[in-house]
Amino acid sequence: MIFVAGKSGQVARSLEEAAVDQGLHLQAYGRPELDIASPESIEAVVMAANPAAIINAAAYTAVDQAESEEELATKVNADGPAALASVAAKLKVPFLHISTDYVFDGSKASAYVETDPVGPTGAYGRSKLAGEKAVLAANPRAIILRTAWVYSPFGKNFLKTMLSLAGRDRLTVVADQFGNPTYAPDIANMLLGIWFRLEGEGEPTPEQAGIYHMSGSGSTSWHGFAEAIFEEGAKYGLPKPEVAAIPTSEYPTPAKRPANSRLDCSKLKRVFGLQQPDWRDSTAECVKRLSQMGELG
C-alpha cells in the first residue's frame, strides 16, 4: 500500500485517481486521522498502515498568508515532513516529498538546476526549504521533487480562476514572471512512475536519492498561460476576453514571487526516464476535462 499524506489537495486527489486507473492500492490520509501540523502524532498513524511507500502531498501553500503565519507554515512544511521521512527510514521504504520553485529567488536568467544556490524571498519559500533540509536530515534516502505553478480540475488554482473570469471584457495578468505550468495529474503519474521503478528494491539507492525538479515541459509567463487557457476555453464556447500584459509592479502581493521559476527537469529524465508532457497539451487536457465535468467558467 502507498501511504499519501494529504487528502484534499490537488496532488493527493490526482494520486487517488491515478492509482485507481493503474490498479494500485493507495490510501490518502488527512485530518482528523493524520494532522501534518502535529508531527508527534504522525509515526503511530503511519506505522499502523505499514505502507510500502510514503508520498507527502500535504503542504501549507497559502503563499501570501504565510507571511503572517510562518510558524504554522514551517510546522506543516518542515516539521511534519521530517516526521514522515523519519518513519519511512525506520520502515526502509521509499519516501517522496514535494517541494517548490519558491526555494529560489528567481534572479537566474535561465532554468534552475537542482544544484543552483537557493535563496527564498518569503516565508512560504523559507518553510519549504526548511522542509527539504529537515527531510534529508531525517532520511538521507528520501527523494524530493520541486514543482511549480500547479493546476488541476480540483480546488482553487490559476487555470480555474482564469476560466471563471472568461465573461469579462478585459483582464490584466502579470507578464514578467516566467515558469512551467504543471498539471497535478501529470505530477501524480510522475510520482507513481518513480514508485514503479523503485518497487521491490526497498529504499532508493544513494544515487537515486536527493533533489529533483519535476514540472511541466516548456515555459511561459502568467500572461502567456492565461492566453492559452482562454484559447482552450473558446473551443468549448467560453468567451475570450482581452488579456492585457502588466508588470509585477502593478500587481503587488504580500509575498514576493520569483521572476524566474523555470525548472530544468533533465535529471529526472536521466535517472528515472521520466518527463512531463508539454504544458500546452496538459492545459488543453485540463480544460477539456472541466468541460466534461460541466465546470467550465
Q: Which residues are identified as catalytic?
A: 124
Q: In angstroms, what CA-CA distances link 263 with 108, 136, 245, 287?
A: 11, 21, 23, 24
HSE-up of 107 (CA within 13 Å, CB side)?
7
Partners of 212 in beta bridges: 145
Nearest CA to 10 out of 89, 106, 142, 98 is that of 98
Beta-carbon count within 10 A of 239 CB:
12
Task: Please tell me the distance from the alpha carbon of residue 106 to that of residue 120, in angstroms, as a whole number.
Answer: 9
Work out the burial of residue 97: count CB atoms within 10 Å of its CB; fewer than 13 is exposed, 13-18 middle, 19 or more buried: buried
225 three-state secondary structure: helix
Amino acid (1-letter code) at residue 173: V
Cβ neighbors of 264 (< 8 A, separation 6 or more) are 110, 111, 112, 113, 213
23 three-state secondary structure: coil
Work out the burial of residue 104: count CB atoms within 10 Å of its CB; fewer than 13 is exposed, 13-18 middle, 19 or more buried: buried
Nearest CA to 206 out of 101, 270, 136, 275 is that of 136
Partners of 99 in beta bridges: 146
Cα–chain-centroid distance for residue 278?
16
